[in-house]
Structure 1
Amino acid sequence: MEQITKGKRLILFPLPLEGHINPMLQLANLLHSKGFSITIIHTQFNSPNPSIHPHFTFRSIPDGLSETEASPKDIILLFSLFNTECVEPFKLCLSSLLSEEPVACLISDSIFHFTQSVAESFKLPRIVFETGGMTSYAVFTQFPLLREKGYLPVMQDSQLERVVTELPPLRIKDLPVIPKGDPEKYFELCVVIMTKIAASDGVIFNTFRDLEEQGLVTLHKQYPNLLVFPIGPFHKCVPEEASSSISDQSCISWLNTRAPKSVIYVSFGTIAAITEAQFLEIAWGLANSNQPFLWVVRLGLVHGSDWLEQLPSGFLENLNGRGHIVKWAPQKEVLAHPSIGAFWTHNGWNSTLESVCEGVPMICMPCFSDQLVLARYVSKVWKIGLQFENGTERGEIEETIRKLMEEKEGEDIRDRSLKLMEKANVSFKPGGSSYQCLDGLVKHILSFE
């Protein structure tokens, strides 16, 4: 296969947010390992570090965003701006690349919906990379139906616990919305993204069939002609490269001093933000649980706070070393550490998948969009975690941690997590579902000529 792919060039275009760039670069490595040459087109905003990937060609395009606009605080506005400001620069860059050498196809992030019409204008096949899971993606495909049935926009608090009969076990409160965004603009964005994916030459997911068979079935019903390639977990298929994020390695030496499966790892990703009140409840809930914890408090996590100044005086000292707080952690290394007993997560797709791959049970605190769907699936379908249902009050935090770490329910969750981890490990080995899907993807790309 590598002999056939050698010299065939692919152009990849990642959305410039960390949770999108990292898996796209992992995908690039996976395809490079199959013999393809890789060119990455990227925006000036949040651009990747080419020196970490010397085997790829990088081309930068202007994104036209001001400093105020280039912020994930209003994610709907940011995505909309990308889809207007990047059109002409992307066209020019793509035209230049196509004049230099043949290109087999374009692989673009699903959020960049404008790339479908641009690719069509160049008669270039476009495959979409969807950085979320098939489960949440399948829910997005149902948005027109959900609006027709009155579930969207989500408005009435009294109805939030109601089950969405078309998508069990999701309740109205689990639908993938952005609470503070304009619901109309968000709906329109989601519908246009889905429409452009349906018109593409296929969609790639960083997942494996045994985890998301239900999502795959729903997708096939909705889009019977769309080719779907679940070829993950990427980070298990390709060697780990240096990251552009600066992680605090002190957490690994601290973890080395803790008992096996005893530590709660707490991290809410790169975008989620919490209030000062939530921050304090989390701090006291962790302290009162009497369980060791490693907590990532990144800069900007707490509204109106620089870092840890909101913690009560002497908080950490009074824990006698039982708690360790860092600004950023090498997450995959942390989750693989034998001392980790649970992962308190916002349920972004990358974090959820990484937890699944290490057999680590989850405590779910979703913030927005697909995280809401995933938290429900983790707790009620896959049954590999527990979800906070009544906000983050210190008593519920303490009770949830105890249930997961000390009680029979926690043991059962741990057993299911380890079984799912084994399925993940099998998926990317020869004969596994992801291994076979990757071969199918390579053949599909080669068929474009």
Structure 2
Amino acid sequence: MEKEQKSGHLVLVMVPFQGHMTPMLQLATILHSKGFSITIVHSELNSHDLSGHSEFAFVSIPNNLTRPQLLDGDLASFALCLNKNCAAPLRQCLEQIVHSNSRITAVLYDLLLFCAQIITDDLRLPEINLHTNSATTLLFFSQLDEKDFIFENDSLELQALRLPRLRALISRHPTETMAEMRIWLTNIMKSSSAIILNSMAFLEEEVILKVKEYFPTSIFAIGPLHKLAQTICISILTEDDKCIAWLDKQAPESVIYVSFGSMANIDEHELIEMAWGLVDSGQPFLWIVRPGMVRGSEWKETLPNGFDESVGERGRIVKWTPQKEALAHRAVGGFWSHCGWNLTIDREYLRRGADAV
């Protein structure tokens, strides 16, 4: 208790996405280990897994959103709606915390919940935002000019990324909601006291320098957070751990792990193309097909006729997996993903096998 009082009290504000909740809880664990008392503010959506972390105080706020809304809409529209719905409850929540505590050291909030910046400014609370993705995405989703993607000393890594081309792909079919969100994110990053990145300088050194150039604030690349707080494990979906027994039967480094995260959607045609691609690969595969991942389908009923017979025991389709355990398994030799950042920076588990757990 004495250590907690000495370090202070931090309030962390999460957004209800799998890839955002896990890094925020990891950050909370790291800060708690340094003696801070932690209060985590979260929305009612996707909050059922949080009860196991007794070291933190949790406060729930309403957002009037449902999981189907999360899956059916695009990210920008959902993020804007989330900020609109959470603004008033979050303000009331922070005011209550201020009144019940003598001092809040700082409010750390997920960058996607940018309304927190405005609220903390009004309440004159110190704030820091956490960007749970790569530093490169800060450039993609900000309102910078195309010339800002020209690097003076292009490394082989940056040349391979083809940043201007990737930016053009993202901007090819702009929507009003995406444009609005990019404006919000850019303005918030410019006014933020500090930004924490779930990344590392040696991985994105030139990009981080570019971020510091255009956003005159303190940038802390302290990731990967999962290496500093490996015990944190949270899943907004029910994990099927029976797939681990199936992996146990496979040859070392033979299995393709296929996962498109907790939010990405595909259509029936894309599902069929993926299915026959996996069949034709000849490799064993563990394929995560979330309920509702295929538009207009409950689960995997739109798989082509004859698929199961063609695959047999060589493939396994599940609704969700204990991801770190699956990635760490000796049988997994590679993964096919939507490029989710958590999965990408967890790739060391593929190299180190069971020793990584």
- How high is the TM-score relative to the length of structure 2? 0.87
Secondary structure at the counterpart of residue 258 of structure 2 = strand
Provide the C-alpha distance between the structure 2 equivalents of 1:4 and 1:59, rounded to a whole number of angstroms. Answer: 19
Provide the C-alpha distance between the structure 1 equivalents of 2:265 and 2:134, rounded to a whole number of angstroms. Answer: 22
What is the deviation of 1:165?
5.3
Matched, 1:338 2:330: yes
User: Could you say which residue in structure 2 is the equivalent of 1:187?
Assistant: 179
Seen in structure 2, the aligned counterparts of structure 1 residues 72 and 79 have a Cα distance that, compared at 3 Å, is: farther
Aligned pairs for 1:111-122 within 5 A: 111-122=112-123
What is the deviation of 1:313?
3.7
What is the deviation of 1:40?
0.8
Seen in structure 2, the aligned counterparts of structure 1 residues 261 and 279 have a Cα distance that, compared at 3 Å, is: same
Secondary structure at the counterpart of residue 175 of structure 1 = helix
What is the deviation of 1:221?
1.8
Secondary structure at the counterpart of residue 76 of structure 2 = helix
Spell out, residue by residue over 1:242-292, the C-alpha distance to the aligned partner (whole angstroms, 9 max, x if none): 544311111111111111111111111111111211111111111111111
Seen in structure 2, the aligned counterparts of structure 1 residues 139 and 244 have a Cα distance that, compared at 3 Å, is: closer
User: Could you say which residue in structure 1 is the equivalent of 2:129?
Assistant: 128
Secondary structure at the counterpart of residue 297 of structure 2 = coil
Seen in structure 2, the aligned counterparts of structure 1 residues 176 and 6 have a Cα distance that, compared at 3 Å, is: farther
Provide the C-alpha distance between the structure 2 equivalents of 1:115 and 1:181, rounded to a whole number of angstroms. Answer: 29
User: Could you say which residue in structure 1 is the equivalent of 2:21?
Assistant: 21
Provide the C-alpha distance between the structure 2 equivalents of 1:348 and 1:211, rounded to a whole number of angstroms. Answer: 16
User: Could you say which residue in structure 2 is the equivalent of 1:78?
Assistant: 78
What is the deviation of 1:359?
4.7
What is the deviation of 1:139?
3.3
Seen in structure 2, the aligned counterparts of structure 1 residues 128 and 282 have a Cα distance that, compared at 3 Å, is: same
What is the deviation of 1:64?
3.7
Seen in structure 2, the aligned counterparts of structure 1 residues 172 and 222 have a Cα distance that, compared at 3 Å, is: closer
Q: Do the aligned partners of 1:52 and 1:242 also contact (CA within 8 Å) in 2?
A: no
User: Could you say which residue in structure 1 is the equivalent of 2:290?
Assistant: 298
User: Could you say which residue in structure 2 is the equivalent of 1:393?
Assistant: none
Seen in structure 2, the aligned counterparts of structure 1 residues 292 and 315 have a Cα distance that, compared at 3 Å, is: same
Query: Over the residues paired in the alignment, what is the CA RMSD in angstroms?
Result: 2.7
User: Could you say which residue in structure 2 is the equivalent of 1:364?
Assistant: none
Q: Do the aligned partners of 2:332 and 2:350 also contact (CA within 8 Å) in 1?
A: no
Provide the C-alpha distance between the structure 1 equivalents of 2:309 and 2:127, rounded to a whole number of angstroms. Answer: 55
Secondary structure at the counterpart of residue 346 of structure 2 = helix
What is the deviation of 1:315?
2.2
Matched, 1:9 2:9: yes
Aligned amino acid, residue 137 of structure 2 = S
Provide the C-alpha distance between the structure 2 equivalents of 1:242 and 1:187, rounded to a whole number of angstroms. Answer: 32
Matched, 1:202 2:202: no
Q: Do the aligned partners of 1:45 and 1:70 also contact (CA within 8 Å) in 2?
A: no
Q: Do the aligned partners of 1:274 and 1:301 also contact (CA within 8 Å) in 2?
A: yes
What is the deviation of 1:299?
0.7
Aligned amino acid, residue 304 of structure 1 = G
User: Could you say which residue in structure 2 is the equivalent of 1:57?
Assistant: 57
Secondary structure at the counterpart of residue 63 of structure 2 = coil
Matched, 1:265 2:266: no
Secondary structure at the counterpart of residue 295 of structure 1 = strand
Query: 204, 215, 222: which is aligned to 2:214?
Result: 222
Aligned amino acid, residue 84 of structure 2 = T
Spell out, residue by residue over 1:105-131, the C-alpha distance to the aligned partner (whole angstroms, 9 max, x if none): 000111122211211121111100011
Aligned amino acid, residue 284 of structure 1 = W
- How high is the TM-score relative to the length of structure 1? 0.70
Provide the C-alpha distance between the structure 2 equivalents of 1:226 and 1:335, rounded to a whole number of angstroms. Answer: 36
**Gapped runs of 5+ residues in structure 2?**
152-157
What is the deviation of 1:180?
9.9
Query: 237, 240, 246: which is aligned to 2:228?
Result: 237
Percent identity between matched residues is 38
Secondary structure at the counterpart of residue 196 of structure 1 = helix
User: Could you say which residue in structure 1 is the equivalent of 2:244?
Assistant: 252
What is the deviation of 1:58?
1.0
Q: Do the aligned partners of 1:11 and 1:41 also contact (CA within 8 Å) in 2?
A: yes
